[in-house]
A and B are shown apart, each in its own frame.
Chain A
Amino acid sequence: MIELKEKKQEKEKVLSMNTEQSIEKQEKKLVYDTRNLNLWYGDNHALKDINLPVNENEVTAIIGPSGCGKSTYIKVLNRMIELVPSVKTTGEILYRGNNIFDKSYQVEELRKKVGMVFQKPNPFPKSIYENVAYGPKIHGVRNKAQLDEIVEKSLRGAAIWDEVKDRLHQNAYGLSGGQQQRICLARCLAVSPDVILMDEPTSALDPISTLKVEELVQELKEKFSIIIVTHNMQQAARISDKTAFFLSGEVIEFDDTDKIFSTPKDKRTEDYITGRFG
Protein backbone atom coordinates (compact mmCIF):
# COMPACT_ATOMS: atom_id res chain seq x y z
CA MET A 1 0.00 0.00 0.00
CA ILE A 2 2.73 2.37 0.96
CA GLU A 3 4.55 1.42 -2.22
CA LEU A 4 1.51 2.25 -4.30
CA LYS A 5 1.16 5.61 -2.56
CA GLU A 6 4.83 6.33 -3.14
CA LYS A 7 4.53 5.44 -6.78
CA LYS A 8 1.50 7.68 -7.09
CA GLN A 9 3.34 10.58 -5.44
CA GLU A 10 6.29 10.08 -7.77
CA LYS A 11 4.01 10.03 -10.79
CA GLU A 12 2.33 13.23 -9.65
CA LYS A 13 5.71 14.84 -9.10
CA VAL A 14 6.86 13.90 -12.60
CA LEU A 15 3.55 15.07 -14.05
CA SER A 16 3.79 18.44 -12.31
CA MET A 17 7.42 18.79 -13.39
CA ASN A 18 6.47 18.09 -16.99
CA THR A 19 3.67 20.66 -16.97
CA GLU A 20 6.03 23.15 -15.36
CA GLN A 21 8.53 22.60 -18.14
CA SER A 22 5.96 22.97 -20.87
CA ILE A 23 4.58 26.11 -19.23
CA GLU A 24 8.13 27.48 -19.17
CA LYS A 25 8.52 26.68 -22.84
CA GLN A 26 5.21 28.34 -23.63
CA GLU A 27 6.14 31.46 -21.62
CA LYS A 28 9.13 32.15 -23.89
CA LYS A 29 7.31 33.67 -26.81
CA LEU A 30 8.89 34.27 -30.18
CA VAL A 31 9.34 37.91 -31.02
CA TYR A 32 11.02 37.35 -34.40
CA ASP A 33 10.90 34.22 -36.51
CA THR A 34 13.02 34.28 -39.63
CA ARG A 35 12.17 31.55 -42.13
CA ASN A 36 14.22 30.68 -45.18
CA LEU A 37 15.44 34.23 -45.66
CA ASN A 38 17.60 34.83 -48.71
CA LEU A 39 18.96 38.21 -49.70
CA TRP A 40 20.83 39.44 -52.75
CA TYR A 41 22.71 42.66 -53.34
CA GLY A 42 22.27 42.59 -57.11
CA ASP A 43 23.91 39.27 -57.99
CA ASN A 44 25.69 38.86 -54.70
CA HIS A 45 23.91 36.26 -52.57
CA ALA A 46 24.56 37.86 -49.21
CA LEU A 47 22.20 35.92 -46.91
CA LYS A 48 21.59 32.23 -47.52
CA ASP A 49 18.58 30.41 -46.12
CA ILE A 50 18.52 32.05 -42.72
CA ASN A 51 16.31 30.46 -40.10
CA LEU A 52 16.44 32.18 -36.74
CA PRO A 53 13.81 32.27 -33.99
CA VAL A 54 14.36 35.03 -31.42
CA ASN A 55 12.70 34.94 -28.01
CA GLU A 56 11.29 37.95 -26.26
CA ASN A 57 12.95 39.51 -23.25
CA GLU A 58 16.29 38.00 -24.17
CA VAL A 59 19.50 39.40 -25.51
CA THR A 60 20.39 37.64 -28.73
CA ALA A 61 23.89 38.27 -30.03
CA ILE A 62 24.97 37.85 -33.63
CA ILE A 63 28.68 37.27 -34.09
CA GLY A 64 30.87 36.49 -37.06
CA PRO A 65 33.81 37.77 -39.10
CA SER A 66 33.66 40.86 -41.30
CA GLY A 67 31.44 40.47 -44.30
CA CYS A 68 29.51 37.52 -42.94
CA GLY A 69 26.17 39.23 -43.28
CA LYS A 70 25.37 40.07 -39.68
CA SER A 71 24.84 43.81 -40.28
CA THR A 72 22.84 43.02 -43.39
CA TYR A 73 20.66 40.64 -41.43
CA ILE A 74 19.88 43.01 -38.62
CA LYS A 75 18.96 45.72 -41.12
CA VAL A 76 16.42 43.42 -42.73
CA LEU A 77 14.61 43.03 -39.43
CA ASN A 78 13.38 46.62 -39.52
CA ARG A 79 13.54 46.86 -43.32
CA MET A 80 16.21 49.54 -43.22
CA ILE A 81 18.04 47.45 -45.82
CA GLU A 82 15.51 48.70 -48.34
CA LEU A 83 17.42 51.99 -48.51
CA VAL A 84 19.95 50.12 -50.63
CA PRO A 85 18.50 50.13 -54.14
CA SER A 86 19.70 46.78 -55.47
CA VAL A 87 18.38 44.58 -52.66
CA LYS A 88 16.10 41.55 -53.26
CA THR A 89 14.76 39.17 -50.66
CA THR A 90 12.85 35.90 -50.54
CA GLY A 91 11.49 34.08 -47.53
CA GLU A 92 9.63 35.53 -44.62
CA ILE A 93 10.29 37.19 -41.34
CA LEU A 94 7.50 37.04 -38.81
CA TYR A 95 7.44 39.78 -36.24
CA ARG A 96 5.03 38.63 -33.55
CA GLY A 97 3.33 36.44 -36.08
CA ASN A 98 3.03 38.92 -38.97
CA ASN A 99 5.21 38.73 -42.05
CA ILE A 100 7.02 42.05 -42.29
CA PHE A 101 7.36 41.76 -46.06
CA ASP A 102 3.62 41.76 -46.59
CA LYS A 103 2.52 44.52 -48.96
CA SER A 104 -0.04 45.66 -46.44
CA TYR A 105 2.42 45.84 -43.57
CA GLN A 106 3.23 49.46 -42.72
CA VAL A 107 6.96 49.86 -42.44
CA GLU A 108 6.66 52.97 -40.27
CA GLU A 109 4.68 50.97 -37.70
CA LEU A 110 7.33 48.26 -37.76
CA ARG A 111 10.10 50.76 -37.19
CA LYS A 112 8.21 52.26 -34.30
CA LYS A 113 8.03 48.89 -32.61
CA VAL A 114 11.51 47.83 -33.63
CA GLY A 115 14.06 50.50 -32.83
CA MET A 116 17.63 50.66 -33.98
CA VAL A 117 20.87 51.95 -32.51
CA PHE A 118 23.53 52.38 -35.17
CA GLN A 119 27.23 51.78 -35.14
CA LYS A 120 28.25 55.40 -35.25
CA PRO A 121 26.19 57.65 -32.96
CA ASN A 122 23.93 59.72 -35.20
CA PRO A 123 21.95 62.27 -33.19
CA PHE A 124 20.06 64.91 -35.14
CA PRO A 125 21.70 68.34 -35.34
CA LYS A 126 19.17 69.61 -32.84
CA SER A 127 18.91 70.02 -29.10
CA ILE A 128 18.98 66.97 -26.82
CA TYR A 129 15.31 67.51 -26.03
CA GLU A 130 14.35 67.74 -29.69
CA ASN A 131 16.32 64.59 -30.47
CA VAL A 132 14.40 62.51 -27.99
CA ALA A 133 11.04 64.18 -28.65
CA TYR A 134 11.36 63.66 -32.41
CA GLY A 135 9.95 60.12 -32.44
CA PRO A 136 6.84 60.83 -30.36
CA LYS A 137 6.17 64.03 -32.33
CA ILE A 138 6.37 62.14 -35.60
CA HIS A 139 3.78 59.72 -34.33
CA GLY A 140 1.36 62.42 -33.25
CA VAL A 141 2.13 63.42 -29.67
CA ARG A 142 1.63 67.17 -29.40
CA ASN A 143 0.97 67.86 -25.74
CA LYS A 144 4.02 69.54 -24.23
CA ALA A 145 3.57 68.01 -20.77
CA GLN A 146 3.33 64.58 -22.30
CA LEU A 147 6.44 65.17 -24.37
CA ASP A 148 8.37 66.42 -21.34
CA GLU A 149 7.43 63.26 -19.50
CA ILE A 150 8.41 60.99 -22.37
CA VAL A 151 11.75 62.76 -22.78
CA GLU A 152 12.60 62.42 -19.11
CA LYS A 153 11.54 58.79 -18.96
CA SER A 154 13.57 57.91 -22.04
CA LEU A 155 16.67 59.74 -20.88
CA ARG A 156 16.42 57.95 -17.54
CA GLY A 157 15.99 54.67 -19.36
CA ALA A 158 19.21 55.35 -21.22
CA ALA A 159 20.98 56.22 -17.94
CA ILE A 160 21.86 59.71 -19.11
CA TRP A 161 19.19 61.88 -17.48
CA ASP A 162 21.41 63.14 -14.66
CA GLU A 163 24.16 64.13 -17.05
CA VAL A 164 21.97 66.17 -19.38
CA LYS A 165 18.96 67.31 -17.39
CA ASP A 166 20.38 70.80 -17.03
CA ARG A 167 21.20 71.22 -20.68
CA LEU A 168 18.30 69.69 -22.52
CA HIS A 169 18.17 72.56 -24.97
CA GLN A 170 21.80 72.47 -25.95
CA ASN A 171 22.81 70.88 -29.20
CA ALA A 172 23.36 67.15 -28.99
CA TYR A 173 26.53 67.48 -31.01
CA GLY A 174 28.29 68.97 -28.01
CA LEU A 175 28.20 65.64 -26.18
CA SER A 176 30.89 62.98 -26.17
CA GLY A 177 30.58 59.87 -28.34
CA GLY A 178 29.40 57.66 -25.51
CA GLN A 179 26.83 60.23 -24.42
CA GLN A 180 25.61 60.69 -27.98
CA GLN A 181 25.10 56.96 -28.32
CA ARG A 182 23.00 56.94 -25.16
CA ILE A 183 20.96 59.85 -26.55
CA CYS A 184 20.36 57.73 -29.63
CA LEU A 185 19.19 54.95 -27.33
CA ALA A 186 16.89 57.38 -25.51
CA ARG A 187 15.54 58.51 -28.87
CA CYS A 188 14.80 54.89 -29.63
CA LEU A 189 13.10 54.31 -26.27
CA ALA A 190 10.92 57.38 -26.65
CA VAL A 191 8.61 55.64 -29.12
CA SER A 192 8.05 52.71 -26.75
CA PRO A 193 9.52 49.99 -28.89
CA ASP A 194 9.19 46.29 -28.36
CA VAL A 195 12.49 45.18 -29.83
CA ILE A 196 15.77 47.08 -29.93
CA LEU A 197 18.23 46.27 -32.67
CA MET A 198 21.82 47.26 -32.04
CA ASP A 199 24.34 47.25 -34.84
CA GLU A 200 27.77 47.17 -33.19
CA PRO A 201 26.68 49.93 -30.83
CA THR A 202 29.92 50.17 -28.89
CA SER A 203 32.52 49.69 -31.60
CA ALA A 204 33.07 53.45 -31.86
CA LEU A 205 33.11 54.02 -28.10
CA ASP A 206 35.79 54.01 -25.41
CA PRO A 207 35.88 51.15 -22.85
CA ILE A 208 34.08 53.04 -20.09
CA SER A 209 31.21 54.10 -22.32
CA THR A 210 31.11 50.57 -23.67
CA LEU A 211 30.68 49.23 -20.18
CA LYS A 212 27.86 51.67 -19.48
CA VAL A 213 26.03 50.61 -22.63
CA GLU A 214 26.49 46.94 -21.79
CA GLU A 215 25.03 47.48 -18.31
CA LEU A 216 22.11 49.25 -19.91
CA VAL A 217 21.47 46.31 -22.21
CA GLN A 218 21.17 44.01 -19.21
CA GLU A 219 18.64 46.33 -17.59
CA LEU A 220 16.66 46.87 -20.78
CA LYS A 221 16.04 43.23 -21.50
CA GLU A 222 13.53 43.13 -18.66
CA LYS A 223 11.16 45.19 -20.76
CA PHE A 224 12.44 44.80 -24.31
CA SER A 225 13.92 42.17 -26.57
CA ILE A 226 17.38 42.98 -27.78
CA ILE A 227 19.23 41.76 -30.82
CA ILE A 228 22.82 42.92 -30.91
CA VAL A 229 25.39 42.54 -33.64
CA THR A 230 28.92 42.59 -32.33
CA HIS A 231 32.36 41.74 -33.59
CA ASN A 232 33.54 41.64 -29.99
CA MET A 233 33.14 38.07 -28.81
CA GLN A 234 33.81 38.85 -25.19
CA GLN A 235 30.96 41.33 -25.30
CA ALA A 236 28.64 38.70 -26.73
CA ALA A 237 29.69 36.23 -24.04
CA ARG A 238 29.19 38.85 -21.32
CA ILE A 239 25.77 40.18 -22.11
CA SER A 240 23.78 37.81 -24.30
CA ASP A 241 21.47 34.90 -23.55
CA LYS A 242 21.61 33.36 -27.00
CA THR A 243 24.23 33.70 -29.71
CA ALA A 244 24.10 33.11 -33.44
CA PHE A 245 27.32 32.56 -35.36
CA PHE A 246 27.19 33.81 -38.95
CA LEU A 247 29.68 32.89 -41.63
CA SER A 248 29.51 33.85 -45.31
CA GLY A 249 25.85 34.66 -45.12
CA GLU A 250 24.73 31.52 -43.31
CA VAL A 251 23.82 30.76 -39.73
CA ILE A 252 26.35 28.14 -38.73
CA GLU A 253 25.22 27.68 -35.17
CA PHE A 254 22.59 29.20 -32.91
CA ASP A 255 22.31 28.23 -29.25
CA ASP A 256 22.48 29.39 -25.65
CA THR A 257 25.46 31.67 -25.23
CA ASP A 258 27.23 29.57 -22.68
CA LYS A 259 26.86 26.49 -24.85
CA ILE A 260 28.25 28.27 -27.91
CA PHE A 261 31.26 29.52 -26.05
CA SER A 262 32.04 26.40 -24.07
CA THR A 263 30.91 23.50 -26.21
CA PRO A 264 30.31 24.65 -29.77
CA LYS A 265 28.91 21.94 -32.01
CA ASP A 266 30.41 23.10 -35.30
CA LYS A 267 34.14 23.17 -35.90
CA ARG A 268 33.91 26.50 -37.69
CA THR A 269 32.27 28.05 -34.63
CA GLU A 270 35.04 26.69 -32.48
CA ASP A 271 37.69 28.03 -34.84
CA TYR A 272 36.15 31.49 -34.79
CA ILE A 273 35.74 31.61 -31.04
CA THR A 274 39.26 30.49 -30.39
CA GLY A 275 40.55 33.11 -32.73
CA ARG A 276 41.89 30.90 -35.47
CA PHE A 277 40.32 33.21 -38.02
CA GLY A 278 38.18 36.34 -38.29
Chain B
Amino acid sequence: MMNSRTVNKIWTGVFYAIALFVVLLLGFLVYEILKSGWGFWDLSFLTGESSNTEAGGGIGYQLFNSFYMLVITLIISVPLGLGAGIYLAEYAKPGKLLSFIRLCIDTMASLPSIVVGLFGLLVFVTATGWGYTIIGGALAITILNLPNLARVSEGAILDVPDSVKEASLGVGATKWQTIVKIVLPTALPQIITGIILAAGRIFGEAAALIYTAGLTTPILNTAADLSSPVNPFNIFRPAETLAVHIWKLNSEGIVPDAQAIATKAAAVLIIMVLIFNILARFVAKILQKRFEGGKMKRKKQPQTAA
Protein backbone atom coordinates (compact mmCIF):
# COMPACT_ATOMS: atom_id res chain seq x y z
CA MET B 1 0.00 0.00 0.00
CA MET B 2 1.52 3.27 -1.10
CA ASN B 3 1.05 6.18 1.14
CA SER B 4 -0.26 9.41 -0.34
CA ARG B 5 3.00 11.28 0.10
CA THR B 6 4.83 8.75 -2.02
CA VAL B 7 2.18 8.96 -4.70
CA ASN B 8 2.55 12.75 -4.61
CA LYS B 9 6.29 12.49 -5.03
CA ILE B 10 5.93 10.08 -7.93
CA TRP B 11 3.53 12.30 -9.80
CA THR B 12 5.63 15.40 -9.17
CA GLY B 13 8.50 13.49 -10.72
CA VAL B 14 6.36 12.49 -13.68
CA PHE B 15 5.38 16.08 -14.42
CA TYR B 16 8.94 17.31 -14.19
CA ALA B 17 9.95 14.48 -16.49
CA ILE B 18 7.34 15.49 -19.05
CA ALA B 19 8.55 19.09 -18.97
CA LEU B 20 12.13 17.90 -19.40
CA PHE B 21 11.05 15.71 -22.29
CA VAL B 22 9.51 18.68 -24.09
CA VAL B 23 12.66 20.71 -23.66
CA LEU B 24 14.84 17.84 -24.85
CA LEU B 25 12.61 17.22 -27.85
CA LEU B 26 12.87 20.83 -28.97
CA GLY B 27 16.57 20.86 -28.26
CA PHE B 28 17.07 17.70 -30.33
CA LEU B 29 15.11 19.12 -33.24
CA VAL B 30 17.02 22.40 -33.26
CA TYR B 31 20.33 20.60 -32.84
CA GLU B 32 19.75 18.23 -35.74
CA ILE B 33 18.75 20.98 -38.09
CA LEU B 34 21.58 23.28 -37.09
CA LYS B 35 24.05 20.42 -37.42
CA SER B 36 23.00 19.44 -40.93
CA GLY B 37 22.63 23.05 -41.93
CA TRP B 38 25.97 24.07 -40.53
CA GLY B 39 27.34 27.09 -42.31
CA PHE B 40 24.00 28.75 -42.79
CA TRP B 41 25.36 32.06 -41.59
CA ASP B 42 27.62 32.39 -44.58
CA LEU B 43 26.87 35.82 -45.98
CA SER B 44 27.13 34.77 -49.60
CA PHE B 45 24.56 32.11 -48.87
CA LEU B 46 22.20 34.48 -47.12
CA THR B 47 22.32 37.17 -49.72
CA GLY B 48 23.23 35.25 -52.86
CA GLU B 49 20.96 34.42 -55.72
CA SER B 50 19.49 30.97 -55.90
CA SER B 51 20.30 28.77 -58.80
CA ASN B 52 18.07 26.28 -60.54
CA THR B 53 20.84 24.39 -62.21
CA GLU B 54 24.17 24.88 -60.52
CA ALA B 55 25.53 24.27 -57.08
CA GLY B 56 26.37 27.12 -54.77
CA GLY B 57 23.02 28.86 -54.91
CA GLY B 58 22.01 31.22 -52.13
CA ILE B 59 18.70 32.22 -50.57
CA GLY B 60 18.91 35.99 -50.79
CA TYR B 61 15.74 36.62 -52.76
CA GLN B 62 13.79 34.01 -50.85
CA LEU B 63 14.79 35.56 -47.55
CA PHE B 64 13.72 38.98 -48.76
CA ASN B 65 10.46 37.56 -50.04
CA SER B 66 9.73 35.97 -46.67
CA PHE B 67 10.19 39.27 -44.87
CA TYR B 68 8.26 41.27 -47.41
CA MET B 69 5.44 38.72 -47.41
CA LEU B 70 5.37 39.00 -43.62
CA VAL B 71 5.03 42.77 -43.74
CA ILE B 72 2.26 42.75 -46.33
CA THR B 73 0.38 40.02 -44.49
CA LEU B 74 0.58 41.90 -41.21
CA ILE B 75 -0.63 45.10 -42.84
CA ILE B 76 -3.76 43.28 -43.95
CA SER B 77 -4.41 40.86 -41.12
CA VAL B 78 -3.62 42.96 -38.05
CA PRO B 79 -6.32 45.61 -38.57
CA LEU B 80 -8.83 42.92 -39.48
CA GLY B 81 -7.89 40.70 -36.54
CA LEU B 82 -7.84 43.61 -34.12
CA GLY B 83 -11.20 44.83 -35.40
CA ALA B 84 -12.71 41.39 -35.00
CA GLY B 85 -11.27 41.13 -31.50
CA ILE B 86 -12.70 44.52 -30.53
CA TYR B 87 -16.10 43.52 -31.88
CA LEU B 88 -16.10 40.23 -29.97
CA ALA B 89 -14.92 41.77 -26.73
CA GLU B 90 -16.84 45.02 -26.68
CA TYR B 91 -19.83 44.97 -28.97
CA ALA B 92 -21.08 41.43 -29.44
CA LYS B 93 -24.19 40.50 -27.52
CA PRO B 94 -24.61 36.90 -26.43
CA GLY B 95 -27.04 35.05 -28.64
CA LYS B 96 -27.43 32.97 -31.78
CA LEU B 97 -25.56 35.43 -33.97
CA LEU B 98 -22.54 35.49 -31.68
CA SER B 99 -22.44 31.68 -31.45
CA PHE B 100 -22.53 31.51 -35.21
CA ILE B 101 -19.71 34.02 -35.59
CA ARG B 102 -17.59 32.09 -33.10
CA LEU B 103 -18.27 28.88 -35.01
CA CYS B 104 -17.09 30.51 -38.20
CA ILE B 105 -13.94 31.79 -36.56
CA ASP B 106 -13.14 28.43 -34.98
CA THR B 107 -13.70 26.66 -38.30
CA MET B 108 -11.41 29.10 -40.04
CA ALA B 109 -8.79 28.35 -37.43
CA SER B 110 -8.88 24.65 -38.23
CA LEU B 111 -8.73 24.92 -42.02
CA PRO B 112 -5.81 22.90 -43.35
CA SER B 113 -3.29 25.32 -44.81
CA ILE B 114 -3.01 23.38 -48.05
CA VAL B 115 -6.77 23.72 -48.54
CA VAL B 116 -6.54 27.45 -48.00
CA GLY B 117 -3.71 27.44 -50.50
CA LEU B 118 -5.89 25.73 -53.07
CA PHE B 119 -8.66 28.18 -52.38
CA GLY B 120 -6.14 30.93 -52.93
CA LEU B 121 -5.18 29.34 -56.22
CA LEU B 122 -8.78 29.31 -57.39
CA VAL B 123 -9.56 32.86 -56.36
CA PHE B 124 -6.44 34.98 -55.96
CA VAL B 125 -4.52 33.42 -58.80
CA THR B 126 -6.96 32.16 -61.39
CA ALA B 127 -10.23 34.01 -60.95
CA THR B 128 -8.59 37.39 -60.61
CA GLY B 129 -6.14 36.68 -63.35
CA TRP B 130 -3.27 37.90 -61.22
CA GLY B 131 -1.22 34.74 -61.46
CA TYR B 132 1.15 34.00 -58.60
CA THR B 133 1.55 37.13 -56.52
CA ILE B 134 2.71 38.30 -53.13
CA ILE B 135 -0.69 39.76 -52.47
CA GLY B 136 -2.32 36.44 -53.27
CA GLY B 137 -0.07 34.74 -50.74
CA ALA B 138 -0.69 37.45 -48.17
CA LEU B 139 -4.45 37.08 -48.55
CA ALA B 140 -4.24 33.32 -48.16
CA ILE B 141 -2.15 33.61 -45.01
CA THR B 142 -4.56 36.23 -43.68
CA ILE B 143 -7.34 33.68 -43.86
CA LEU B 144 -5.23 31.30 -41.84
CA ASN B 145 -4.13 33.83 -39.26
CA LEU B 146 -7.25 35.91 -38.77
CA PRO B 147 -8.87 33.68 -36.14
CA ASN B 148 -5.69 33.63 -34.13
CA LEU B 149 -5.23 37.39 -34.15
CA ALA B 150 -8.90 37.89 -33.33
CA ARG B 151 -8.60 35.54 -30.39
CA VAL B 152 -5.47 37.22 -29.08
CA SER B 153 -6.96 40.70 -29.39
CA GLU B 154 -10.21 39.63 -27.78
CA GLY B 155 -8.35 38.02 -24.89
CA ALA B 156 -6.17 41.07 -24.36
CA ILE B 157 -9.18 43.41 -24.32
CA LEU B 158 -11.16 41.20 -21.97
CA ASP B 159 -8.19 41.23 -19.62
CA VAL B 160 -8.57 44.97 -19.12
CA PRO B 161 -10.49 45.27 -15.83
CA ASP B 162 -14.09 46.43 -16.13
CA SER B 163 -13.51 48.93 -13.35
CA VAL B 164 -11.15 50.92 -15.55
CA LYS B 165 -13.65 51.00 -18.43
CA GLU B 166 -16.37 52.11 -16.01
CA ALA B 167 -14.15 54.88 -14.72
CA SER B 168 -13.76 56.19 -18.26
CA LEU B 169 -17.47 56.08 -19.02
CA GLY B 170 -18.11 57.68 -15.64
CA VAL B 171 -16.41 60.93 -16.66
CA GLY B 172 -18.52 61.13 -19.77
CA ALA B 173 -16.39 59.39 -22.38
CA THR B 174 -18.10 57.53 -25.20
CA LYS B 175 -17.55 53.83 -25.77
CA TRP B 176 -15.29 54.54 -28.72
CA GLN B 177 -13.16 57.02 -26.74
CA THR B 178 -12.87 54.48 -23.95
CA ILE B 179 -11.70 51.81 -26.37
CA VAL B 180 -9.15 53.99 -28.14
CA LYS B 181 -7.74 55.90 -25.18
CA ILE B 182 -7.92 53.41 -22.36
CA VAL B 183 -8.65 49.84 -23.41
CA LEU B 184 -6.34 49.46 -26.41
CA PRO B 185 -3.31 51.12 -24.80
CA THR B 186 -3.74 48.87 -21.79
CA ALA B 187 -4.20 45.73 -23.91
CA LEU B 188 -1.35 46.62 -26.25
CA PRO B 189 1.45 44.55 -24.67
CA GLN B 190 -0.58 41.37 -24.97
CA ILE B 191 -1.70 42.21 -28.49
CA ILE B 192 1.83 42.96 -29.62
CA THR B 193 3.07 39.70 -28.14
CA GLY B 194 0.37 37.88 -30.07
CA ILE B 195 1.30 39.67 -33.28
CA ILE B 196 4.98 38.84 -32.93
CA LEU B 197 4.19 35.18 -32.34
CA ALA B 198 1.88 35.19 -35.35
CA ALA B 199 4.72 36.74 -37.34
CA GLY B 200 6.86 33.75 -36.49
CA ARG B 201 4.25 31.43 -37.95
CA ILE B 202 3.66 33.57 -41.01
CA PHE B 203 7.36 33.64 -41.71
CA GLY B 204 7.50 29.88 -41.84
CA GLU B 205 4.28 29.25 -43.79
CA ALA B 206 4.69 27.01 -46.83
CA ALA B 207 1.59 25.06 -47.84
CA ALA B 208 -0.63 28.08 -48.37
CA LEU B 209 2.02 29.87 -50.43
CA ILE B 210 2.95 27.10 -52.85
CA TYR B 211 -0.12 27.72 -54.95
CA THR B 212 -0.56 31.43 -54.33
CA ALA B 213 2.81 33.13 -54.24
CA GLY B 214 4.41 30.52 -56.39
CA LEU B 215 7.63 28.64 -56.70
CA THR B 216 9.69 31.20 -58.53
CA THR B 217 10.95 34.66 -58.05
CA PRO B 218 12.10 36.98 -60.80
CA ILE B 219 15.55 38.46 -60.66
CA LEU B 220 14.88 41.54 -58.61
CA ASN B 221 15.94 45.00 -59.63
CA THR B 222 15.20 47.96 -57.42
CA ALA B 223 15.73 50.37 -60.29
CA ALA B 224 12.69 49.05 -62.10
CA ASP B 225 9.30 50.69 -62.09
CA LEU B 226 6.97 49.64 -59.24
CA SER B 227 4.52 48.04 -61.60
CA SER B 228 7.21 45.88 -63.17
CA PRO B 229 7.49 42.28 -61.98
CA VAL B 230 11.17 42.68 -61.23
CA ASN B 231 10.74 45.46 -58.72
CA PRO B 232 11.10 43.81 -55.35
CA PHE B 233 8.30 45.88 -53.77
CA ASN B 234 5.69 45.13 -56.37
CA ILE B 235 3.09 43.02 -54.63
CA PHE B 236 1.71 41.68 -57.89
CA ARG B 237 4.75 39.57 -58.63
CA PRO B 238 5.50 35.94 -57.88
CA ALA B 239 7.58 35.40 -54.78
CA GLU B 240 9.00 32.15 -53.60
CA THR B 241 9.55 32.36 -49.86
CA LEU B 242 12.15 30.54 -47.82
CA ALA B 243 9.87 27.77 -46.56
CA VAL B 244 8.53 27.14 -50.05
CA HIS B 245 12.09 27.04 -51.35
CA ILE B 246 12.94 24.29 -48.90
CA TRP B 247 9.98 22.28 -50.14
CA LYS B 248 10.89 22.84 -53.76
CA LEU B 249 14.50 21.84 -53.25
CA ASN B 250 13.49 18.60 -51.62
CA SER B 251 10.84 17.65 -54.14
CA GLU B 252 12.09 18.86 -57.49
CA GLY B 253 15.53 20.24 -56.79
CA ILE B 254 17.95 19.23 -59.52
CA VAL B 255 20.95 21.19 -58.33
CA PRO B 256 23.61 18.85 -56.92
CA ASP B 257 23.64 20.49 -53.51
CA ALA B 258 19.87 20.70 -53.09
CA GLN B 259 19.97 18.80 -49.83
CA ALA B 260 22.62 21.07 -48.34
CA ILE B 261 20.84 24.25 -49.36
CA ALA B 262 17.56 22.94 -48.00
CA THR B 263 19.01 22.10 -44.59
CA LYS B 264 20.86 25.38 -44.37
CA ALA B 265 17.67 27.23 -45.31
CA ALA B 266 15.83 25.24 -42.67
CA ALA B 267 18.42 26.28 -40.12
CA VAL B 268 17.86 29.91 -41.03
CA LEU B 269 14.13 29.44 -40.69
CA ILE B 270 14.42 27.85 -37.26
CA ILE B 271 16.71 30.62 -36.06
CA MET B 272 14.24 33.23 -37.29
CA VAL B 273 11.34 31.54 -35.49
CA LEU B 274 13.37 31.38 -32.29
CA ILE B 275 14.25 35.05 -32.65
CA PHE B 276 10.58 35.96 -33.10
CA ASN B 277 9.61 34.03 -29.99
CA ILE B 278 12.33 35.52 -27.84
CA LEU B 279 11.55 38.98 -29.17
CA ALA B 280 7.89 38.53 -28.26
CA ARG B 281 8.69 37.75 -24.66
CA PHE B 282 11.24 40.51 -24.47
CA VAL B 283 8.86 43.13 -25.82
CA ALA B 284 6.12 41.98 -23.48
CA LYS B 285 8.44 42.34 -20.51
CA ILE B 286 9.52 45.84 -21.50
CA LEU B 287 5.99 47.05 -22.13
CA GLN B 288 4.87 45.60 -18.86
CA LYS B 289 7.63 47.44 -17.03
CA ARG B 290 6.04 50.63 -18.34
CA PHE B 291 3.23 49.93 -15.91
CA GLU B 292 5.74 50.62 -13.20
CA GLY B 293 4.59 49.54 -9.79
CA GLY B 294 1.47 48.41 -11.54
CA LYS B 295 -0.92 46.51 -9.35
CA MET B 296 -2.86 45.21 -12.33
CA LYS B 297 -3.20 41.47 -12.26
CA ARG B 298 -1.59 39.79 -15.20
CA LYS B 299 -3.26 36.49 -15.95
CA LYS B 300 -0.87 33.60 -16.32
CA GLN B 301 -0.53 33.10 -20.06
CA PRO B 302 -1.41 29.59 -21.27
CA GLN B 303 1.33 28.44 -23.59
CA THR B 304 -0.75 28.39 -26.74
CA ALA B 305 0.55 27.60 -30.15
CA ALA B 306 -3.02 27.81 -31.45
Contacts and interface: CB of A to CB of B under 8 A. Distances in A.
Interface centre among B164, B167, B181, B295, by most A CB within 10 Å?
Answer: B167
A124 B164 contact: yes
Contact of A134 (B93, B181, B186): B181
Interface string B267-306: 0000000000000000000000001111110000000000
8 contacts: A83-B169, A111-B169, A124-B167, A124-B182, A125-B296, A138-B177, A187-B171, A191-B171
A261 interface: no
List of 10 A-B pairs having minimum Cβ-Cβ separation, nearest first? A174-B293, A112-B172, A122-B163, A111-B172, A135-B171, A108-B172, A116-B170, A122-B167, A173-B294, A138-B173
Given A134-B181, A171-B293, A171-B294, A80 B174 contact: no
Contacts of B231: none
Given A124-B182, A125-B291, A171-B294, A109 B164 contact: no
B168 interface: yes
A118 B294 contact: no
B168 A80 contact: no
A69 interface: no
A188 B167 CA distance: 9
Contacts, number: 75
Interface of B: 93, 161, 163-164, 166-174, 177, 181-182, 186, 291-296
Contact of A109 (B161, B172, B186): B172
A123 interface: yes
Contacts of B168: 124, 134
Contact of B166 (A80, A110, A112, A188): A80
Nearest to B294: A173
B34 to A, nearest CB: 42
B92 to A, nearest CB: 11
A20 to B, nearest CB: 39
B132 to A, nearest CB: 46
A249 interface: no
Interface centre among A111, A124, A125, A190, by most B CB within 10 Å?
Answer: A125
Interface residues of A, number: 30
B158 to A, nearest CB: 15
A167 to B, nearest CB: 11
A115 B171 CA distance: 6
A151 interface: no
Contacts of B295: 173
A108 B176 CA distance: 12
A173 B161 CA distance: 14
Given A125-B294, A171-B292, A173-B293, A138 B166 contact: no
A78 B294 contact: no
Contacts of B182: 124
Interface centre among B172, B292, B293, by most A CB within 10 Å?
Answer: B172
A83 B169 CA distance: 10
A118 B173 contact: no
A112 B292 contact: no
A138 B171 contact: yes
Given A115-B170, A134-B168, 9 more contacts: A116-B170, A122-B164, A122-B167, A124-B164, A134-B173, A174-B293, A187-B167, A187-B171, A190-B171
A120 B163 CA distance: 8
